[in-house]
Amino acid sequence: MTNNQIWGGLKNAAIYSVVFTFVSVLITILAAYHDLVDSIGKEQIKTVTELAYAEVISYNKKNLERELQNESRQHNRQQSRIKVTFHGVGKYN
């Protein structure tokens, strides 16, 4: 056997190990999730999902209010700068 064959075999073994470990963990997670859904019940999962949606909506509403306040502040600053600029132009004329 040559060095290339040894390194090739080692590489293949490492690839197989990583791929099959990932597949095994994925199958285990899916099976555990299925058992969790069965044990909790569909009503409780629906309630948890609705609570999560409510939390997201609440966050989005607060975020929108902050964005609108920031836009209002920026607009007010721009308006005050325009007034100062026009007022300053009138002084020099």
Q: What is the pLDDT of residues 2-53, one digit of tens each?
A: 788 888 888 889 988 989 999 999 888 888 877 766 666 777 778 888 888 8
Q: Please classify residue 11 by burial: count the beta carbons closer than 10 Å to its beta carbon, then call 0-12 exposed, 13-18 middle and 19+ buried.
A: exposed
**Which one-letter DSSP state was computed for residue 41?**
-
pLDDT for residue 84: 65
- Residue 45's contacts (CB-CB under 8 Å, 6 or more residues apart) are 37
Average pLDDT over residues 59-64: 88
